[in-house]
Amino acid sequence: MTLSAVEEFNYVKGTPPVDISKSDEWWEQVQNQARLVLEEAQEQYDAALSKDLVELVDGACDIKYTQDYVRTILKHSGVDMDLAYEEVCKNNRGKYTTSKELAERSRDKYLKGFLVDCDIHSVDVDNVTYYVVKRHWDGKVMKLEGHHSPDIKKAIPEQLVEALKP
């Protein structure tokens, strides 16, 4: 078996992926790894706040390293992570539009219905004008009117869902 550097590290330290037949242990492993990702993200955020480029780069690499093992655990369990990722990418592509009217309706919905301070931003890419609705305080791109969540379930085998129910 050929292991990636991340897989090899986790096998060597005694944490190979837990089989889904051991549901409680599987969830514990995922929770522990997710906690490590969160810890690394906090370190990266702290580096950004202190404007420490070396620690920022280190944090970015540590996040990828720890997150890669979450992906490995999920793939080992039968999740099609490539399909799930494509669904998320497709979903994010649905957060911008070439329709200024759709962007305006979406912005107005946030301003009136949700009291979110946001505005429309436009950019030209390859001679096409795109519009996004961005929240003012952090630049988050907001969902457009009629936006739907990604269909992540199609990347997860039904038997896995059943096996891992609490």
* pLDDT score at 62: 96
| The pLDDT of residue 124 is above 70 | yes
| The pLDDT of residue 1 is above 70 | no
**Bridge partners, 121 (sequence order):** 132
* pLDDT score at 30: 96
* pLDDT score at 161: 86
Q: Note the pLDDT tens digit of each residue in 2-33.
A: 779 999 999 999 999 999 889 899 999 999 99
Report the candidate in 132, 140, 148 with the shortest Cα–Cα distance to residue 97: 132
**DSSP states of 7-49:** HHHHHHTT-PPPPTTSHHHHHHHHHHHHHHHHHHHHHHHHHHH
* pLDDT score at 114: 66
* pLDDT score at 115: 73
Q: 85: which 2 tokens? A: 């990722």
| The pLDDT of residue 113 is above 80 | no
40-62: string of b/e by CB count within 10 Å (b at 16+)? bbebbeebeeeeeeebbeebeeb
Q: What is the pTM (predicted TM-score) of this model? A: 0.83
Report the candidate in 161, 107, 166, 155 with the shortest Cα–Cα distance to residue 131: 107
Q: What is the mean pLDDT of residues 131-140?
A: 93
108: phi then psi, degrees, rounded to nearest 5? -60, -35
Q: Note the pLDDT tens digit of each residue in 52-107.
A: 999 999 999 999 999 999 999 999 999 999 999 999 999 999 999 999 999 999 99
Q: Note the pLDDT tens digit of each residue in 136-164.
A: 889 999 999 999 999 999 999 998 988 88
